[in-house]
Structure 1
Amino acid sequence: MRHRLQHPVALAALAVVLAIAALYASGALAWAGGLIGDGACRLAVGIGDVTGVDALRNYGCRMMGGLWVTLQLVAISVTLGVLLALVVAVARLWGGPVLGGIATAYTTFFRGTPLLAQLFLVYYGAGQIRPFLTTIGVWPYFREAFFCAAFTFTLNTAAYQAEIFRGAIQSVSRGQWEAARALGLRPFATFWKVILPQAAMVALRPLGNELVIMVKSSAVASLVTILDLMGSTRFAFARSFDLMVYVFAAALYLVIVEIIRRVWELAERRLTRHLHHA
């Protein structure tokens, strides 16, 4: 039995509202980055002093600034990707032949092609359709490499997250739908209040893996002139020829991934604590 949501527009509207909130949150990230930038700069220079690596003394501040660009890029793309992924997952499950076909084509393309190729298509392709982008008022964004990368990463991670959500939603037993209908809940309310919370528990660990993958994959942004962590490291190496800057960058990536892993484990243990006592 197929359950159709009666209010797909409401879900899309909610995604738009949350997306706007995410954009405002990105401004908060930039503000917070300014507050902690001095401390991170001093830390990098201090490590250079202790280890005797001149490249870190000279370029450590630039690399820590690149680290913050990487964190912003990942935070924006993953947050917006979750919202888009929910819409795509719903379209694949209950969108019918047209919307379902579009959603399937979208996930197939972005999961089946390299992220670097997608980034080049957006970054270099945006200039080819500049008149159209100018007409709809988004060219000021697409002429900036950062927004091109954020847009590409969002589309890429949303395709993977959509499949995660789709599998998680399908894992919820049909009896949950039937029980909610017996209680008089509408399909949209059933999905939002009953099905999605249970599916989120199933999707939690794969979503954590996707976040880690995005942190590491974000390094390709350096190829389109973005001075993220890897871009700043390349800049430092080109002027110092000191391989230790890459060792330092790899250590920073490792620290970020380890922090995400531990925080995700705590969140998963907290959110699923009721299951351990069942």
Structure 2
Amino acid sequence: MNFSWVSNYWPLLAAGATQTVMLLVISVALGFVLAIGLALAQIGGPHWLRWCAKSYCTCLRGTPLLIQLWLLYYGVGSLLPMIPGLRSSFVWPIVREGFFFAAVSFTLNYAAYEAEVLRGALLAVPKGELEAGRAFGMTHWTLLRRIWLPRAIRIALPTIAGEVVLQLKATPLAFTVTVMDLYAVAYKIRQDTLLVYEPLIVVTIFYVCLTIVITRAFRIVERQVPARR
């Protein structure tokens, strides 16, 4: 095993690790917010909204993430330059990059999976807790904010932790749309040094360590938040 190349490539490795973490944080944070709306729409929205939310979740959960990413990057991405004035706007440097399409694709995909998790968790909240909130005169939104949604998130925490780890393992797909994430850096190192296993071992260690951090963080949160109010 030869790891002498690490001293020369560590700035590139650090930059790739940063890109990976940024993709994970952006997609999980924005996707979770979107998932809450999708879950609530499936449970208490009007018929047309429930149908739209269920169709969205079914379609995105039923197709590979790689295909969704390529449809956005090669499909929508090829149409963006045709929008009048977009090239001269301040958003063009952002939307022309593969990172933007990867972040959007990962966010939409994560939201679809997380919405189903939250939908089940919302339905699992004991009815007696909701009835007690209504008995205290809480409005629908107060009940949702103070009892229903917090309890559902607490119920779903172990599953959410697993979904975040799965999202982390999906980030190497960004390499296919020119994003220089950690896997892309490892691929470049392999091309430069003709070393196959060593760069992949470094990537594996990074993902394992980050998975441990995520898992322990969620366990700490589970211990801090009581199971029952």
Does the CA-based 8 Å contact 1:133-1:139 persist in structure 2? no
Cα deviation for residue 96 of structure 1 reads: 1.7
Specify the SS of the correspondent of 1:118: helix
Q: Which amino acid aligns with 1:221?
A: A
Residue 200 of structure 2 corresponds to residue 250 of structure 1: no
Return the match for 1:264 from 199, 218, 221: 218
Provide structure 1 residue ranges, at least 5 long, that are not aligned to the other structure: 1-50
Alignment of 1:212-227 (within 5 A): 212-227=165-180
1:11 alignment counterpart? none
User: Which runs of structure 2 are paired with 1:20-35 in the superposition (5 Å)?
Assistant: none
Distance 1:128 1:236 in 2: 30
Q: CA deviation at 1:139?
A: 5.2
Contact 1:126 1:143 in 2 (8 A): no
Query: What is the rounded CA distance, in whole Å, between the counterparts of 2:20 and 2:214 in structure 1?
Result: 14
Q: How does 1:87-236 map to 2 (within 5 A)?
A: 87-130=37-80, 131-132=82-83, 140-236=93-189
Determine the structure 2 residue equivalent to 1:28: none
TM-score normalised over the length of structure 2: 0.91
Aligned length: 224
Report sequence identity in percent: 35
Cα distance change on mapping 1:134 and 1:231 into 2, 3 Å = farther
Compute the displacement of 1:52 (Å). 5.1
Q: Which structure's relative contact order is higher, taking Cα pairs within 8 Å and 6+ residues apart?
A: 2
1:73 matched residue in structure 2:
23
Q: Look up the match of 1:25.
A: none
Shift in CA distance, 101/133, structure 1 to aligned 2, threshold 3 Å:
farther
Partner of 1:54: 4
Query: 2:106, 2:93 → 1: CA distance?
Result: 18
- Shift in alpha-carbon separation, 1:241–1:52, aligned structure 2, 3 A: closer
- Of 242-251 and 121-130, more deviation after overlay is shown by 121-130
Distance 1:133 1:187, change over 3 A: farther
Preserved contact between residue 141 and residue 148 of structure 1 (Cα < 8 Å): no
Q: 1:225 to 1:133 in 2, by over 3 A?
A: farther
The 1:175–1:106 alpha-carbon spacing in structure 2 relative to 1, beyond 3 Å, is same
Native 8 Å contact 1:55 1:245 kept in 2: no
Three-state SS of the structure 2 residue aligned to 1:226 is coil
Look up the equivalent residue of 2:115 and give its one-letter code.
A
Query: Cα–Cα, structure 1 residues 231 and 242, in superposed 2: closer, same or farther, change >3 Å?
Result: same
Q: Which has the higher helix share?
A: 1
State the superposition RMSD in angstroms: 1.9
Alignment match of 1:63 (pick from 13, 25, 41): 13
Q: Which amino acid aligns with 1:253?
A: Y
Q: Distance in 2 between matches of 1:188 and 1:238?
A: 55
Whole-Å separation in 2 of the counterparts to 1:92 and 1:195 = 15
Alignment correspondent of 1:16:
none
Rounded Cα–Cα distance in structure 1 between residues aligned with 2:141 and 2:211: 36
- After the TM superposition, list the runs of 4 or more consecutive aligned residues in structure 1 that deviate by more than 4 angstroms: 132-135, 137-140
Return the offset for 1:141: 3.4
Q: Partners of 1:139 and 1:83 in 2: how far apart?
A: 25
Aligned counterparts of 2:183 and 2:120: Cα–Cα separation in 1: 34
Amino acid at match of 1:143: R
Q: Do the aligned residues in 2 keep the contact of 1:86 with 1:165 (CA within 8 Å)?
A: yes
1:66-105, Cα deviation, whole Å (9 max, x unpaired): 0011001100110001110011111111112111111011
Q: Using the alignment, how far apart are the partners of 1:216 and 1:93 within structure 2?
A: 30
Shift of the alpha carbon at 1:54?
2.6
